Amino acid sequence: MLGYAFRLGSASMEEMVGSLATVLICDDEPSLRELIRVSLDGAYSFAEADDGEMSLELARRLKPDVMILDMMMPRRNGLDVLRELRRDEGLAATAVIVLTAQPAMREAALSHGADVVMVKPFEPHQIRAAVAEVLANRT
């Protein structure tokens, strides 16, 4: 299991959070996490989680600006993670982009506080636009 990973060389988690907007990518598919990183590269700092429990742990620790959250992950699904985030005062303002392969999950995610729901597959420009949009709406 990946647990978490950070970009930008040997910078610590805390150093990363201070400079660029932080995007927490939460998906159990390494290839999708890589696609998202490449799509957003250069504009943000990244942290990654490959299951729901690690997603919550990193969100609480990092307080990311944006969380990209897959609905179907091991150890805790995305809807459970989203519910927890919205109940946590320290994380309630975190922008959440939900990814799902099931279009029927769209309404459930929105009703639990997702800012944007994207149905897989999506194009790289769509994830870039979604991140820019939620960041613009949060400031």
Task: Evaluate whether 55 touches 14 at the Cβ level (below 8 Å).
Answer: no
Please write the tens of the pLDDT for every residue from 89-103.
999 889 999 999 998
Which long-range contacts link 87-91 to residues 24+ away (Cβ below 8 Å)? 88/60, 90/60, 90/63, 91/59, 91/60, 91/63
| pTM for the structure as a whole | 0.85
Please write the tens of the pLDDT for every residue from 36-90.
999 998 889 999 999 999 999 999 999 999 999 999 999 999 999 999 999 999 9
For the chain, the structural domain boundaries read: 13-138
- CATH of 13-138, picked from 3.40.109.10, 2.60.120.1130, 3.40.50.2300, 3.90.1150.10, is 3.40.50.2300
Task: Evaluate whether 60 touches 43 at the Cβ level (below 8 Å).
Answer: no
